[in-house]
Amino acid sequence: MPSYIAPLEDMMFLFNKLRNNEKYNEIEKYKEVNSELVKDILEEAAKITQNLILPLAKSGDDNPPILENGVVRTSPGFKEAYKKFIEDGWISLSCDPKYGGQGMPKTVSAFFDEMLSSTCLSFKLYSELTIGAYNCILKHGSDEIKNKYLPKMVEGKWSGTMCLTEPVCGTDLGLLKTKAEEQSDGTYKISGQKIFITSGDHDLTENIIHLVLARANGSPKGTKGISLFLVPKFIVKEDGSIGSRNGVSTGSIEDKMGIKASATCVLNFDGAVGYMIGPKNKGLNSMFTMMNLERIVVGIQGLGISEIAYQNSLSYAKERKQGKANITKSENGADNIIEHADIRRSLLNMKSIIEGERALCFWLSQQTEVSLNHNDEIAKQQASDFVSLMTPVVKSMFSDMGMEITSDAMQIHGGYGFTKDLGIEQLYRDNRITPIYEGTNSVQAADLVFRKLVNKDGDIIDKYINLIKEEIKTSEEKVQPFVKQLNYYLEILTKFTNWIKEKIKDSKDDASAACNDYLKVLGFVAMAHAWIKVLEASFRDYENNKNFYEDKIQTANFYFNRVLPRVESHFKTATTGSKYIMDYKFN
């Protein structure tokens, strides 16, 4: 089983030194969320994830949930762990106090999301979709619905799901077949089948609140005719108690490559009672409240799995002896593999990407809070635009880098990494879903290029590039060598952006073929911008913690010299166009 120590020092560094967003600091309700409180929360989070959740990863992988007489039974130990998890209030961490939540900002809850992802992604998924459903109901549900369902969801006694995918429609939701027939009492009868439903059924909670996309009778075809419905596993009575079983049943549990302890279900809706959430035929708009936040969380999943893969790779490299380095450290026999240049390169590649991602995620968490909670509408809109721009980047970049990092972790462990003994191959398998679910990474890249660069609020990518230029303009002298490098790659991003905008107008194939490369370029530049913020704090406070800040500076050196130059390759590859792709004749 892999070991794990939550990176609390790095998390607290970000919270203490990079919480410098003026608009974020103006949010009144978070002014009492100070360093001491956050440190206490994260230390307790580290304890429960390291001691209670981590051991579930291997046992859950070895003993997946089973469907027995129509009942889904979760992996051994999950019920006991979940009971402790909700007793300690972890699901309520970022929820509204009005419904029993603790009201912590995403700048804090994102760190906890990372810890959970590092220790057992399968366990995390049982509560993660609950938070997603909570966010959707909170924004689009009626007061009656919110008062009836949210307190139990925040408490963790009831869980939630997101039911979109069907056998005939995944990305293309316009093909959706699930029907909703309106009843005389204003409820709907939901009929259809949903597949790949994460935490679709289980024995951890008293009730499961499904958010289901369906087409109401009389609605138009395509995505314009989709509505969103709340469909409980058990009907909830007027007094809030649980009543009879609804018309929802589990057809099967998927047998998956990874996240095996997560019950991914086929759900059958047979005239199930449902309640419309939000306006009729506007279901996709409502569901995207859940999906967009979920996409950022999927990126954090990739970050979390990368962190535990790196920690175990570093530990193994310090102990495993193989071959002799150019400058041998041992008088006889082999050297520890960490002395070999290529192993060190691989470890620094992991470390520099992980720490850049964490810093970028912290910046995005601040922007998210401003977009949701600031009093000034202009500030909210600008932050919302930046969140919209960076959501596909974080989802895709972090999950793709997670594949690279877990693959490199297996390589460092050699044959032992390929066996189940050390648990490294499980990290690779568990992460493999992250580039696929919540919209595949290719869909994210297309969304970025065709929808997010420019929208009704203007040229968002231009605003983002100008934001970076303005912020790095005032960097202190010691940071200037890094700023110079970033400016060089910012120019490439600008050229690439202009090329993309032109191709969108006159050659959609060229733009489509370049989408993934463009997303990577924006992602590497965004991480470099985050690294500049880290460097400014590191040089400014260097004397207070020399070892920590020297480590940051050296890691940044690797990122700027060995990772950021990937930008140039992606740019050159993409701008060759699509001719040799579209003209090729497949047999």
**CATH number, domain containing residue 67:** 1.10.540.10
Q: Which of 180, 181, 443 is nearest to 291 (CA)?
A: 443
Domain contains 148: no
Domain identity same for 411 and 479: yes
Closest CA to 395 of 359, 352, 443: 443
* Structure tokens belonging to residue 408: 């490199």
Residue 586 covered by a domain: no
For residues 170 and 112, membership in a common domain is answered with no
The Cα–Cα gap between 300 and 118 comes to 10
The Cα 258–Cα 55 span in angstroms is 16
The token pair at 240 is 């809030």
Place of tokens 């470390």: 351
Do 274 and 295 reside in the same domain of the chain?
Answer: no
Q: 243 and 361: one domain? A: no
**Residue 151 within a domain:** no
Contact criterion met (CB below 8 Å) for 503 and 511 = yes
Do 246 and 338 belong together in one domain?
no
Residues in the chain: 587
CA 206, 211, 217 angle in degrees (round to 5)?
130
Residue 467 has φ and ψ, to the nearest 5°, of: -60, -45
Q: Tokens for 490, please give them.
A: 């910012």
Instruction: Say if residue 375 is in the same domain as residue 495.
Output: yes
* Whether residue 268 is found in the same domain as residue 340: no
181 beta partners: 189
Q: What per-residue confidence (pLDDT) applies to 329?
A: 60
pTM reported for the whole predicted model: 0.96
Q: Among the options 9, 438, 476, 491, which is catalytic?
A: 438
Contact criterion met (CB below 8 Å) for 129 and 211 = no
Asked if residue 296 and residue 278 are part of one domain, the reply reads no
DSSP state of 29: G
Question: Measured in Å, how far apart are the chain's first and last C-alpha atoms?
Answer: 46
Domain count, the chain: 3
* CATH number of the CATH domain containing 531: 1.20.140.10
d(CA 416, CA 291): 37
In a domain, 420, yes or no: yes
Look at residues 140, 171, 196 and tell me which one is the last residue of a structural domain: 140
Domain contains 583: no
Q: Is residue 170 part of a domain?
A: yes
Q: What pLDDT, on a 0 to 100 scale, did the predictor assign at position 431?
A: 98
Per-residue pLDDT of the chain (587 residues; tens, 9 = 90+): 899 999 999 999 999 999 989 999 999 999 999 999 999 999 999 999 999 999 999 999 999 999 999 999 999 999 999 999 999 999 999 999 999 999 999 999 999 999 999 999 999 999 999 999 999 999 999 999 999 999 999 999 999 999 999 998 877 777 899 999 999 999 999 999 999 999 999 999 999 999 999 999 999 998 899 999 999 999 999 999 999 999 999 999 999 999 999 999 999 999 999 999 999 999 988 887 777 788 999 999 999 999 999 999 999 999 988 888 776 565 667 888 999 999 999 999 999 999 999 999 999 999 999 999 999 999 999 999 999 999 999 999 999 999 999 999 999 999 999 999 999 999 999 999 999 998 899 999 999 999 999 988 789 999 999 999 999 998 999 999 999 999 999 999 999 999 999 999 999 999 999 999 999 999 999 999 999 999 999 999 999 999 999 999 999 999 999 999 999 999 999 999 999 999 999 98
The residues, ordered by sequence, that sit 6+ positions from 69 with a Cβ below 8 Å of its Cβ are: none
CA count, 13 A, side-chain hemisphere, 88: 14
Which DSSP symbol is given to 542?
G
| Domain stop point among 114, 140, 166 | 140
Same domain, 240 and 357: no
Distance of alpha carbon 69 from alpha carbon 79, whole angstroms: 19
Establish if 457 belongs to a structural domain: yes
Q: Are residues 115 and 12 in the same domain?
A: yes
CB atoms under 10 Å from CB of 440, counted, come to 16
Residue 1 in domain:
no
**Chosen domain end from 140, 174, 193:** 140
Distance (Å, rounded) from C-alpha 496 to C-alpha 316? 40
- The reply to whether 229 and 107 lie within a common domain is no
Burial letters 88-112, b for 16+ CB under 10 A, else e: bbbbbbbbeeebbbbebbbbbbbbb
SS3 67: strand
Judge whether 369 counts as a catalytic residue: no
Residue 166: domain span? 158-282
φ and ψ at residue 196, rounded to 5 degrees: 60, 40
377-413 vs 460-473: helix crossing angle, rounded to 10: 80
- pLDDT, residue 4, reads 98
Q: What is the pLDDT of residue 327?
A: 65
> Do 570 and 490 belong together in one domain?
yes
